[in-house]
Each structure stands twice: as C-alpha cells, then as structure tokens.
C-alpha cells in the first residue's frame, strides 16, 4: 500500500508540471483568439488549444484528477465546435474558457483528498529537483542526488563542445586541401627546370632567386604538412574527448523505459474497467534506456495508443468468447535498440484489428481522399490513414473517442523527434503500431543541401532516397509536376518555392538532384540546387518566439561557422501541398494552338481520378489550360482565388456536390456569370431539371458523352 501511495504522489507531482505547460498553452491561445482578425487567423490557434485540452484530459485521467478531466472534456467540446465551424469564439465563450482554466489551476494547487505529509522527490522523477544527499560520498558505489536541471545544464555544455569538434574537423580538412596546391607547384617547376638551367649563364641572379624560392617553398610545404598532421591528431584527440564526455553526460540523463511502466499499466487497468473490458499489459525491454527528453515527449503518444487499443481494438469479453479468443485481451509494449542509435517501440494487441473498409469510408466522407484513390490503396496503405487528423472510426464523440485526434498526435510527435510510425493490422487478429525513434535528441545524421542560395540540413532518417532527374523526365499529372519512382508518379516540389526563397538556376535537360521525403504514407520529391554532404549534425532547438517557425525544426552550426536551418519534413510535406504550382507549360503554350484557345482556363471538378484524367486529357488535347479539383468544395475555393473561364463539374462528389457548387457560383457576385457545364452519370429528367434550376449552362450525361459534345459546349460558352 505504501508503495502505491508513493507512486501516486510521484505521478501527481509529475502531472502538475505537465498540466502547467498545457494550461499555459491554452491560456495563451485563448488570449490570442480574442484578438484574431478572421477565421483563417483563428484556425491554428484553435488547433493548438484543442490538442492541449485533449492531451491534458488523458493525463488527468491517468493521475486521478477527475475535476481537471471533466473541465478538459467541456473545453474540448467547446474547442471542437469552434474547429468544426459549428460555432465561433465570442467574448462570452472566451471568458467561460478562461474561467475553466482558472478552475483547473485551483484544482491543481489543492492537495489531493488523501494527501499524506509530503515525501522527498524520488530519483525517477523526470522533472522535479532532487534534494542533496544527506550523507557524504565515501565509498565506491555511493551516490549523490543532483537536480535534473543541473544535469540538463551539464549536458548542454557537453553538447556545445560538439561545435568545437566539428570546427576542428573543418580546419583539418582545410589544411588537407593545401597538399594538392604544392603538388601542382612541383609539377610546374619540374617542367621549367631545363629552361632555368639555360638561363643560369645569362642571368645568374634571377636563377639564384628562383632556387632560393624553391627551397623556401619546400620548407613551407614541410611546415604545412607538419601542421596538417598536428591538426589531424588534435581533431582525433578532441573528437575522442568530446564523444566520451557527451556519451557519459547522456548516460546521466538516460532513463529506462520502465519508469513509465506504472503509469501505462494504470491507464490500461482504469480504461479496461471503465469500458467493461478485460485486458492485461505486458512490457518487454523495460531496461532499455532512452534520453529522458524522448521519454517525456512519448508519454502522451503511448497513452493515446493504449486508449485507442482498448476503445477501438479490444473486443468485449463476450465478443472475444464468441470469436474463440480468451476473455482477457493481451496488449504488448516491446522496446528494443535498433540500428545502433535508434529505439523501436511496438504497441500491439490481439483485438479485432483495423476495419480497413470503415477507414476508407471515413477518409472519403471527410474529404481526405477521393473514392477512386481510396479503392486503389492496398490494405497497409489504407490502414495508415488512421494517422490523419480528423479521421475517426468511432460512431460518436465520447470522452475517449470520436474526435480523430489521438493517432494524429502520435505521428506528429514521432516525426517531430526525427522518427517515424507505421501500422500493421491482421483482420480479427490484432494490430501492431511501430515507432522508430532516435535514442537521443542531441545529434543526428543529416543531409546538407543547397537551395535558393542557402544551406539546409535534412534528417537522414527521413530521406527515403537521393535521386537525379532531367527536365525531360518530368510529367504533368492533375496539374502537378511529377517524376516516376518505383513504378508510380511522385509529386515534384521545388524546395526554394516551398520555402519562399528566390528560385535557383534555370532548369535545362542536365540532371538535377532531388530528395525523396516522406511523412506517413505520402512521398514528395523536393528539387534542390545541390546535395553537399551527409554528416553528423548538432541540433540547436529553437526557443520562443522562434519555436513555431513553419518548415523549420531547429538549426545547426557547420564547421565553417555558418548557421544552417534544420528542415521539418512533416511541415515541408504540408507546405508542398499548398505551394503554388509552376506554370512553365502554361507560360509557353504550343505554337500550333490559337491564341483564343490557349487563353481559355477551365476548372474540372471530379472526384473520380479516372474521369478527372479523361476530361483533363480531352481538354488539354484541344488546347485548353486545365486545372483540377477533387470535389466541389476545393473547386469553389479555387474559383474564389483564381480566374477561370468555365467550370466543368461532376454532380456526385464529397463535401459539396455539383448542384450545390453551381448554386454557390450563381449566388456569388463575382462568379455569377461563369459558364458551368455539369458532366454526370445522373440521367433522369428530375436531375436534368435540377441542373437547370441551379443555373447550369449545359448538362451532359456521361453515358452519352463523346469528345465532340464536350468541346462543342465549351466553344459555345467559353
């Protein structure tokens, strides 16, 4: 009993520190919301406070802070309504949120109901300062308690020495580059020596000078060679000292994964009891040590994964019995070292597995992917959609599920740490989520690239491949540049464009380098001006107010003293989706097309990729400039932001169908006169009449459609 009370005191103390961070984030977000000008400015603030409330709620449940959990649930519901656009922040609701935050502060400041006299902080406390030892160190094996902050400071100082190590390596390389210069000089001198001998009789003083110069240069070369050898030896000595110091400093802040075991087991016990399920958690590899900063960052994701497993994966005892399974479900967390400097965390269960069909359906209904694209995904790729924000297969919103946030947080956390996450599911037999993370946050292997006249570092672990391509290899698919990779079209983005930097040298048919980067199931090839090197990189984390810079995860100092930003791959993928497309083909249309046709811009809205590509091909072959949208909502957004001469739209589409899209166009003052052609499989008289009612200029049935009908309609309207 005493052990359990000690654990709960430690758990609550740790939770209070974590809760303070979440509350601070929510308070700042609420205050900034009050001054936000419009919905676009409010969206990222709402997302931040929503996530903070979600994470705090789960932590409060684990630490038995019921009042805080209930308040978080109320705030999460409020923030969710703002996020979904059901309601908007008002002075009254913002004040209500502040009151709830104040009440949580009060709840955290009050002692727990069964509080005992305060006990000294335990060694395994990840945050709280530890008191000094009461007895002096006298014998080998004695220990002394040191505050975690003091250890953090020592580790930071050791990390700073990495800069000296990298600089020493750079100086050694600089001296090494002098050797070829002397070699070149010797070759030239040997070639002119016969002529110098002939000149000796005519001008002895000149020859004496040249011979003196030769001896002086040889002595200089010998001196440089000695310096080069000394610099290399110094580099080796400094590297060993720094590496040993850093390794020993890291060991002081490496904690076994087992320090989280009591918390994780309690989460499983409490949730299983609440859900009326029976489950047992087994943890393997508890002795595996990880940087405490990694452990702190992964605590919430592990709790999310366990909640997801119990709520979505594990069946009720009755359902398990009917399926021939033991009534008690098995959940396993397995931790192991991989690749020398990484740790792999597996979270698996023997539940029902991922309902791939439901995941596909939810992804389509929420507009995350088109129906055709969803069906083209294999089961593994479709299962990976569970990591997308806003996707949940829970039929209703409860305290545990339905908001489509938990697994998105898991992937986001893993990628922010320079890791990756994947899922494997066996229908009816269970699910395994695999996370591969760095052991420490100090250094990593990075690829140095140049783009827009600047140098950047990209974590090697997130570089799937470095490739080269020619301009002739680029194909346009759905309005985007692509290159072929492993038998499929891969989107091509220019890193300078994504980072809003000046473009690099003009493209020609010489091979250009590109990095294939991935986040989740998505891969994009980023064009760079040059790939410079792959080396050890010292991470400098950004601090306020720079910690939230888009596309940037931190910075590093190169051996030359140059500061190079470290790119955030997950952010880059998101930014590449929004980056403006290069219009080289549109700017230089084929000379055979008439001016009147090439200036006609057509927007095609169609959720079926096959129909979309068919329509696009027909129109581009006729000389029109074509841009595509995967549904009505994306099409309307494009119409409001870009100029088009005609809209060609399907009717049955997710989020906004063709009828409603046409009605919105006619109701918009700027778009009211835009010609609209509906191309659909709906052939009934009622559907045709509805098309006319909403204001379509032409209604073409796919079954009767041929190329000439469509082109004739456009020639009349555009």
CA–CA dist 445, 375 (Å, integer): 37
Question: Quick one: average pLDDT of 256-268?
Answer: 87
Per-residue pLDDT averaged across 97-112, rounded?
A: 79
Tell me whether residue 85 is exposed, middle or buried, using C-beta atoms within 10 angstroms of its C-beta: 0 to 12, 13 to 18, 19 or more. exposed
For 695, list phi and psi in degrees, rounded to 5. Answer: 110, 15
How many other C-beta atoms are found inside a 10 Å radius of the C-beta of residue 601?
16
What is d(CA 82, CA 94) in angstroms, rounded to the nearest whole number?
11
Confidence category of residue 325, pLDDT binned at 50, 70, 90: very high
State the chain's maximal CA–CA distance in angstroms: 112
**Distances from the Cα of 687 to the Cαs of 411, 655, 672, 676, 701, in angstroms?**
44, 19, 21, 15, 10
Q: Which of 382, 374, 519 is nearest to 458 (CA)?
A: 519
Residue 294 to residue 655: CA distance in whole angstroms: 39
Question: Residues 6 or more apart from 376 whose CB is under 8 A from it?
Answer: 609
Q: Please write the tens of the pLDDT for every residue from 498-533.
A: 888 876 655 555 788 999 987 666 788 999 999 998
Which tokens is 694 given? 């909403």
How high is the pLDDT of residue 350? 92
Question: Looking at residue 138, what is its pLDDT?
Answer: 38
| DSSP letter, residue 551 | T
pLDDT, tens only, 15-74: 888 888 888 888 888 888 888 878 888 888 998 898 888 888 878 887 788 889 889 988
Please list the residues that pair with 281 across neighbouring strands. 331
With bands split at pLDDT 50, 70 and 90, how would you rate the model's confidence at 156? Answer: low
Least confident segment among 157-166, 215-224, 630-639:
157-166
Confidence tier at 152 by pLDDT (50, 70, 90):
low
pLDDT score at 456: 92
Helix (H/G/I), strand (E/B), else coil: 26: helix
Three-state DSSP state, 436 = strand
**Residue 669 near residue 689, CB atoms below 8 Å:** no
Q: Is beta strand 646-649 parallel, antiparallel or unpaired with respect to 475-477?
A: unpaired
* Residue 532 neighbours by CB distance under 10 Å: 17
What residues contact 156, with CB distance under 8 A and at least 6 apart? none
* pLDDT value, residue 221: 78
pLDDT band with cut points at 50, 70 and 90 for residue 680: confident
- Residue 583: the pLDDT is 40
Residue 330 has pLDDT above 90, yes or no: yes
Please give the Cα distance from 536 to 267 (Å, whole number): 38
pLDDT in tens, 543-597: 665 666 788 888 887 766 677 888 988 888 888 876 655 443 333 333 333 333 3
CB neighbours (10 Å) of residue 184? 10
Q: Is the pLDDT of residue 141 over 50?
A: no
Which of the pair, 9 or 342, is modelled with greater confidence? 342
Mean pLDDT taken over the chain: 77
Q: Give the DSSP letter string of 224-248.
A: HHHHHHHHHHHHHHHHHHHHHHHHH
More reliable by pLDDT, 130 or 542: 542
- Residues recorded for the chain: 718
Residue 278 pLDDT level (bands cut at 50, 70, 90): very high
On whether the pTM is more than 0.85, the answer is: no
Check: CB of residue 42 under 8 Å from CB of residue 71: no
> Residue-wise over 36-59: b if at least 16 C-beta within 10 A, else e?
beeeeebeebbbbbbbbbbbbbbb
The continuous run of DSSP H or E covering 307 comes out as helix 292-308
Residue 345 half-sphere exposure, CB side, CA atoms within 13 Å? 27
Q: How confident is the model at residue 665 (pLDDT cuts 50, 70, 90)?
A: very high
- φ/ψ of 209, rounded to 5, equals -65, -45
> At a CB cut-off of 8 Å and minimum separation 6, what does 603 contact?
626, 627, 628, 629, 635, 638, 639, 644, 646, 647, 648
Which helix (H) or strand (E) is 283 found in, with range? strand 279-284
DSSP codes joined into one string, 81-135: HHHTTSS---HHHHHHHHHHHHHHHHHHHSPPTT--SPPPPPTT-SSS--PPPSS
The number of angstroms, rounded, from the C-alpha of 657 to the middle of its chain's C-alpha atoms is 32
């Amino acid at each position: 009993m005493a052990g359990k009370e000690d654990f709960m005191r430690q758990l609550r103390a740790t939770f209070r520190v974590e809760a303070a961070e979440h509350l601070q984030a929510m308070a700042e977000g609420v205050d900034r919301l009050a001054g936000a000008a419009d919905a676009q400015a409010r969206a990222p603030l709402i997302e931040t406070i929503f996530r903070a409330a979600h994470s705090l709620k789960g932590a409060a449940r684990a630490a038995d802070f019921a009042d805080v959990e209930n308040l978080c649930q109320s705030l999460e519901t409020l923030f969710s309504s703002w996020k979904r656009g059901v309601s908007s922040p008002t002075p009254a609701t913002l004040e209500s949120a502040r009151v709830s935050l104040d009440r949580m502060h009060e709840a955290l400041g009050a002692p727990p109901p069964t509080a005992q006299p305060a006990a000294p902080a335990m060694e395994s406390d990840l945050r709280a300062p530890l008191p000094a030892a009461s007895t002096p160190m006298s014998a080998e094996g004695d220990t002394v308690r040191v505050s975690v902050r003091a250890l953090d400071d020592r580790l930071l100082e050791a990390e700073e020495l990495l800069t000296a190590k990298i600089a020493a390596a750079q100086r050694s390389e600089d001296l090494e580059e002098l050797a070829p210069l002397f070699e070149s000089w010797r070759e030239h001198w040997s070639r002119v020596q016969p002529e110098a001998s002939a000149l000796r009789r005519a001008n002895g003083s000149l020859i004496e000078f040249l011979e003196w110069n030769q001896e002086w240069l040889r002595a200089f070369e010998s001196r440089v060679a000695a310096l080069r050898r000394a610099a290399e030896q110094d580099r080796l000595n400094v590297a060993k000292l720094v590496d040993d110091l850093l390794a020993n400093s890291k060991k002081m802040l490496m904690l076994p994964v087992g320090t989280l075991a009591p918390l994780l087991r309690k989460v499983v016990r409490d949730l299983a009891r609440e859900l009326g399920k029976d489950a047992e958690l087994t943890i393997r590899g508890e002795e595996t040590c990880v940087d405490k900063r990694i452990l702190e960052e992964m605590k919430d994701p592990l709790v999310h994964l366990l909640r997801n497993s119990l709520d979505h994966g594990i069946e009720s005892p009755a359902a398990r019995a009917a399926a021939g399974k033991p009534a008690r479900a098995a959940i396993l967390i397995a931790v192991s070292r991989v690749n020398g400097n990484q740790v792999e965390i597996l979270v698996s269960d023997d539940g029902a597995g991922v309902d791939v069909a439901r995941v596909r359906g939810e992804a389509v209904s929420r507009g995350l992917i088109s129906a055709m694209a969803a069906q083209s995904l294999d089961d593994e790729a479709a299962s990976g959609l569970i990591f997308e924000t806003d996707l949940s297969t829970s039929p209703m919103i409860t305290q545990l599920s339905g908001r489509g946030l938990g697994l998105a947080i898991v992937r986001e956390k893993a990628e922010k740490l320079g890791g990756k996450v994947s899922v494997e599911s066996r229908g009816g037999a269970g699910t395994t989520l695999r996370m591969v993370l760095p052991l420490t946050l100090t250094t990593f292997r990075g690829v140095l690239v140049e783009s827009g006249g600047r140098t950047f570092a990209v974590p090697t672990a997130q570089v799937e491949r470095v490739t080269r391509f020619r301009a002739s290899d680029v194909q346009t698919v759905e309005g985007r540049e692509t290159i072929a990779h492993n038998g499929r079209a891969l989107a091509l983005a220019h890193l300078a464009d994504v980072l809003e930097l000046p473009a690099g040298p003009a493209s020609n048919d010489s091979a250009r380098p590109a990095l294939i980067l991935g986040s989740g199931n998505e891969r994009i090839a980023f064009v760079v001006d040059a790939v410079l090197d792959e080396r050890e990189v010292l991470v400098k984390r950004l601090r306020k107010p720079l910690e939230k810079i888009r596309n940037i995860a931190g910075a590093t100092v190169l051996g030359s003293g140059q500061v190079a930003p470290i790119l955030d791959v997950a952010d880059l993928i998101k930014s590449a989706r929004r980056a403006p497309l290069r219009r080289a083909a549109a700017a230089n249309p084929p000379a055979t097309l008439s001016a009147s046709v090439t200036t006609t811009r057509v927007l095609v809205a169609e959720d079926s990729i096959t129909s979309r590509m068919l329509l696009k091909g027909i129109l581009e072959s006729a000389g029109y400039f074509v841009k595509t949208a995967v549904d009505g909502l994306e099409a309307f957004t494009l119409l409001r932001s870009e100029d088009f001469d005609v809209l060609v739209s399907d009717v049955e589409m997710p989020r906004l169908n063709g009828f409603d899209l046409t009605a919105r166009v006619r109701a918009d003052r700027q778009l009211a006169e835009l010609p609209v052609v509906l191309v659909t499989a709906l052939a009934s008289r009622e559907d045709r009449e509805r098309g006319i009612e909403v204001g379509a200029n032409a209604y073409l049935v796919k079954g009767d459609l041929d190329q000439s009908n469509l082109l004739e309609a456009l020639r009349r309207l555009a």
